[in-house]
Amino acid sequence: MKVLFFTLNLPDTLQIGKNAGSIKYYSIPNENPERHLYVIIDNEYEGGIIKKDTFFIESNEKNRFGIYAYKPGLLNVKGTILDRELYEKKVGKNFYELEFKDGYKYFEKEVYVKD
């Protein structure tokens, strides 16, 4: 799946258990000195329990995240990309605050899980 902001690399067929996907993120640089990128996946486990698993993306070369599949059949993989920018804000002669600005992108992909 390729959109303006990112490319999602996720196979159409997954195995039961742990699987991996990756993302290539196209960010727009600005005066911001520091930026952190996370992928948050809604993984469903046995008993219908959904956990949000968070993966820190270091760079477009180290960009993997995990998907868990516990039963065969169709699975709708839902994810969120959190693009967190950090800014230093001067509030006095020798005082600074750290300000966060969060941007969110969402994706869904239907895949098939085989035994």
Full residue range of the structural domain in which residue 57 is found: 6-114
Whether 52 maps to a domain, the answer reads: yes
Cβ neighbours of residue 53 under 8 Å, at least 6 residues apart?
40, 41, 43, 65, 66, 68
In a domain, 96, yes or no: yes
Does the residue 89 lie in any domain? yes
Q: Is residue 43 part of a domain?
A: yes
pLDDT > 80? residue 2: no
Question: 1 lies in a domain?
Answer: no
Helix (H, G, I), strand (E, B) or coil at 5: coil
Q: Which pTM does this prediction carry?
A: 0.84
pLDDT at position 29 over 70: no
In a domain, 32, yes or no: yes
Structural domain total, the chain: 1
Give the CATH number for residue 107.
Answer: 2.60.40
Question: Among 42, 60, 48, 52, which Cα is nearest to 109's?
Answer: 42
Q: What is the pLDDT of residue 80?
A: 97
Over 70: is that where the pLDDT of 72 sits?
Answer: yes
